[in-house]
Structure 1
Amino acid sequence: MKIHLALATLLALTIGAASFAPAYAMGDGDDSGTKPKCKKGEVVKNGKCVKAHSGVLPDEQLYQQGRALAQAGEYDWALTVLAAVGNQNDPRVLNYIGYSHRKSGRLDQAFGYYNKAIEIDPNFVLAREYLGEGYVAAGRVDLARLQLAEIANRCGTTCEEYLELAEHIETGVN
């Protein structure tokens, strides 16, 4: 239910709640036929499921749907949607590509995407947090602490990204 609520909110924001009833990219178990139940590799466009490809939706909508899928644990599906974003140098897109690879256990690939996002925007503390979490997963707490210090320099020691990475370092949990 949590996943569906997040997707409904996302879709209402990115597509416009007035245009149709909330839709869920992953389906919601409702067989009434009122909501699309997209298959992997599809996105919601105008309340219908369509194949994800470059130009099918504006980049922002593709990013938002890809991000929601990644956060919902649909990593490979998220990668498909994020690959359809035209601007592959958007640090947010690179960050969630990295996130999806990291959560799928492909740490080396994840590190490359996080580092590219940070190279484009050194102040992108969420990418630094996720990179640090990847380093924790790889047993490189020393490198995670370097990212923690970078986050502290950019947003202090009370921002969410600092607190999250500090907790991952302390607990050793990815």
Structure 2
Amino acid sequence: MTIKTVRIASLLLGGCIAASVFSGPVFAIGDDSSTMPTCKKGEIYDKKAKKCVKQQSANVTDENRTDYAYSLAKAGRYDEALAMLDTVKDQNNAEWLNYRGYATRKLGRTDEGISYYLQSVKLDPQYAKVREYLGEAYVIKGQLDLAKEQLTTIKAICGTGCEEYQDLNAAILDPSKI
């Protein structure tokens, strides 16, 4: 091979490697890997179609709507999250109640958020995420004893290595992390 051929091959190989690095999947930075992309107001992310669609014409499941509401809340769009949760037909499940509590709490209505969390706990006492958020609400209210009870329960559910335990423990140690 000539030097020119080797250089061209090297450039092509380098380009392919760079393209593969930059064309991989994009993951949102955050503390919950289950969140999905958020769309413009009036749209919803359809997990099945893998794109944003108009909310009124969307034929998406309650689970999709609930997950999307959580993504909106994680993006700080709490009022939109609550409005999305209002479109869910089955509102009597632990996840829906947890996400409603989360968005409500983030809007500063901590007591109302706690009421949703407690309903969620009744439906699924082993749901670690709701225990984390309930504990964070207790930290906000200065009720560290109740927050620590939730931390103990989370430890029994998933151990000290799970995200829920670590996040609540960090919030108890430094409430500014909430």
Task: Provide the TM-score with structure 2 as the length reference.
Answer: 0.72
Q: 2: CA distance between counterparts of 1:44 and 1:171?
A: 34
- Code of the residue aligned with 1:172 in structure 2: it is P
Residues 136 and 169 of structure 1 are in contact (CA less than 8 Å); yes or no, is this contact kept in structure 2?
yes
| 2:55 aligned with 1:50 | yes
Structure 1 partner of 2:10: none
Structure 1 runs (4+) deviating above 4 angstroms are 44-47
| 2:135 aligned with 1:122 | no
SS at match of 2:82: helix
Structure 2 partner of 1:84: 87
Q: 2:71 aligns with which of 65, 68, 90?
A: 68
Residues 43 and 51 of structure 1 are in contact (CA less than 8 Å); yes or no, is this contact kept in structure 2?
no
Q: How many residues of Structure 1 are paired with residues of Structure 2 in the alignment?
A: 142
CA, structure 1 residues 74+154, in 2 after alignment: closer, same or farther (shift >3 Å)?
same
Q: 1: CA distance between counterparts of 2:27 and 2:140?
A: 29
What is the CA distance between 1:44 and its match in structure 2? 4.7
Structure 1 unaligned spans of 5+: 12-23, 27-37
Greater gyration radius: 2
| 2:129 aligned with 1:103 | no
Structure 2 partner of 1:170: 173
What is the CA distance between 1:169 and its match in structure 2? 0.1
Q: 1: CA distance between counterparts of 2:62 and 2:136?
A: 27
Identity of paired residues, percent?
39
Residues 78 and 100 of structure 1 are in contact (CA less than 8 Å); yes or no, is this contact kept in structure 2?
yes
CA RMSD of aligned residues (A): 2.2
Task: Provide the TM-score with structure 1 as the length reference.
Answer: 0.73
